[in-house]
Amino acid sequence: MNRLTRALLPLGVLAAGAAVGFGLIATGARTERRPAPSGAPVVETLTVAPEDFRVIARSRGTVAPRTQSTLIPQVAGRVVWVAPNLRDGGFFEKGEKLLELDPTDYANAVTVARAELARARLALAEEEAQAEQARREWEQLGLKGEPSALVLRRPQLENAKAAAAAAGARLAQAEADLARATILAPYVGRVLAKHVDVGQYVSPGTVLAEVYAVDYVEIRLPLTDDQVGFVDLPEGYRGDGGGRKKGPAVTLRGKVGRDEFAWKGRIVRTAGAIDTASRQLFVVAQVDDPYAHRGDSPPLKVGQFVEAEIQGKVLKAVFVLPREAVEPGGRVVVVTPGRTIERRPVEVAWSDGDRVVVAKGLAAGERISLTPLPFAADGAEVRVQGEGEGPTPAAAGPPGAAAEG
């Protein structure tokens, strides 16, 4: 290969490559130019409408019995019988015999007291006869004036009457002691704990058992000042004769194992004072007959922890917003028809875990941003999620206007 060929060969390769490149550019697919996306943030909105909203005040507490008593004997003796129901968790009816002490000594005391009463009554009858005889003898002797009390045996008669009354009282006491040897249930209830059994000697002051009434249970529920303002409480006043108005309904929820159950009750009264430690007012909810069979719900047991939902007042024509729609300080971000934002203060009437109820500051049909915009200023443009990229209603011009070419 001569010198001229070697010089022209690289030039030929470059020319061939350039031709191939121009060919590929000429025959390649054309790319469509798209406008650069707008820098306005995309927001999710909620169109608000007024509605009626019932306030639910939430609280929590522990189930307690209405009445809890400690059974203590009034007389001493050995336990000779215990009712089968006098066991931890056992139920009993009012007047049911729960326990019996040895009645021998008290039955003997009744017999002795009856004999003493019979002798006292005999002595009284004899004194009455002697007093009557003394009066007749005075009249038969024809003595003038009123005879003295001693002549008519009035002191002896009063002494006999007193002796008969004392004998009657001793008999009544002996009969009462005999009756007290049998322990009866004071109300319909359940046994919380039993402390004695057959064969044990007990005396006055010995704790036999701890029981509680089962006609209804009570739950003390604390309420804050804000909650108190929205709950119609059954307040009592001096001189109202106990005629308090009916309290609001309450739903109690609690877990038994892994399952949650609900019980219905009612607020029946409020505490006599505000708790100085928590600055809260305690109200008392009542559930009637908590151990009655209610379908699949288990009984509401004493000591169980429950959460309460108390029905409050109904707020008329308010706006219910999700909590994320309200900024700190009670402001919302309103998306205007021109797709700009306006931060507006509103009056919050009520709020709970996930909702905020607005009473004033909004109008029906307005759109509220649910997307946080912490750094956007008033008047900033936004894009609404789910709407097209076309011009904003404010800039689109009148309907039917032609776009300039």
User: What mean pLDDT do residues 81-110 have?
Assistant: 96
Tokens of 267: 């607020």
Q: CA of 82: how far to CAs of 98, 99, 120, 266, 294, in Å?
A: 6, 5, 39, 37, 31
Closest CA to 194 of 89, 270, 63, 280: 89
Higher-pLDDT residue of 8, 362: 362
Rg (CA), the chain: 47
| pLDDT at residue 104, as a whole number | 96
User: What mean pLDDT do residues 151-172 have?
Assistant: 92
Distance, CA of 233 to CA of 274 (rounded, Å)? 14
Higher-pLDDT residue of 3, 394: 3
Tokens of 194: 């039993």
- pLDDT for residue 393 is more than 80: no
Q: Which residue has the tokens 């305690």?
A: 282
Q: Of the given ranges (13-17, 268-272, 294-298), which has the lowest mean pLDDT?
A: 13-17
Global pTM exceeds 0.75: no
Distance, CA of 281 to CA of 61 (rounded, Å)? 13
| pLDDT at residue 138, as a whole number | 80
- pLDDT for residue 403 is more than 50: no
Per-residue pLDDT tens for 192-222? Answer: 999 999 999 999 999 999 999 999 999 999 9
Q: Average per-residue pLDDT in the chain?
A: 86
Confidence of residue 7 (pLDDT cuts 50, 70, 90): low
Please answer whether residues 205 and 70 qualify as being in contact, where contact means their C-beta atoms are separated by less than 8 angstroms.
Answer: no
- Residue 79: count other Cβ atoms within 10 Å of its Cβ: 20
| pLDDT at residue 398, as a whole number | 38
Residues 6+ apart with CB under 8 A from 240: none
- pLDDT for residue 58 is more than 80: yes
Whole-number percent of the chain with pLDDT over 70: 85
| Helix locations, 181-246, DSSP H | 225-228
Query: What's the topology of domain 45-53+315-384?
Result: 2.40.420
The number of helix segments (H) and strand segments (E) in the chain equals 4, 23
Burial of 101 (0-12, 13-18, 19+ CB in 10 A): buried
Between the CA atoms of 296, 300, 306 and 311, what dihedral angle is there, to the nearest 10 degrees?
80
| pLDDT at residue 137, as a whole number | 79
Give the 3-state secondary structure of residue 297. Answer: strand
Distance, CA of 179 to CA of 109 (rounded, Å)? 12
Tokens of 399: 């309907």
- pLDDT for residue 87 is more than 90: yes
Per-residue pLDDT tens for 235-264? Answer: 877 776 655 678 999 999 999 888 999 999
| pLDDT at residue 24, as a whole number | 66
Distance, CA of 180 to CA of 173 (rounded, Å)? 10
User: What mean pLDDT do residues 276-304 have?
Assistant: 89
Q: CA of 231: how far to CAs of 210, 223, 262, 318, 347, in Å?
A: 36, 9, 21, 17, 19
Looking at domain 58-65+214-237+245-314, its CATH superfamily turns out to be Efflux pump adaptor protein, beta barrel domain (2.40.30.170)
| pLDDT at residue 239, as a whole number | 72
Per-residue pLDDT tens for 112-126? Answer: 999 999 999 999 999
| pLDDT at residue 3, as a whole number | 64
- pLDDT for residue 225 is more than 60: yes
Per-residue pLDDT tens for 60-85? Answer: 999 999 899 999 999 999 999 999 99
- The hierarchical CATH code for the domain 74-102+182-213 is 2.40.50.100
Q: What are phi and psi of 142, to 5 degrees?
A: 70, 20
Between the CA atoms of 71, 74, 75 and 79, what dihedral angle is there, to the nearest 10 degrees?
-10
Per-residue pLDDT tens for 173-200? Answer: 999 999 999 999 999 999 999 999 999 9
| pLDDT at residue 399, as a whole number | 37
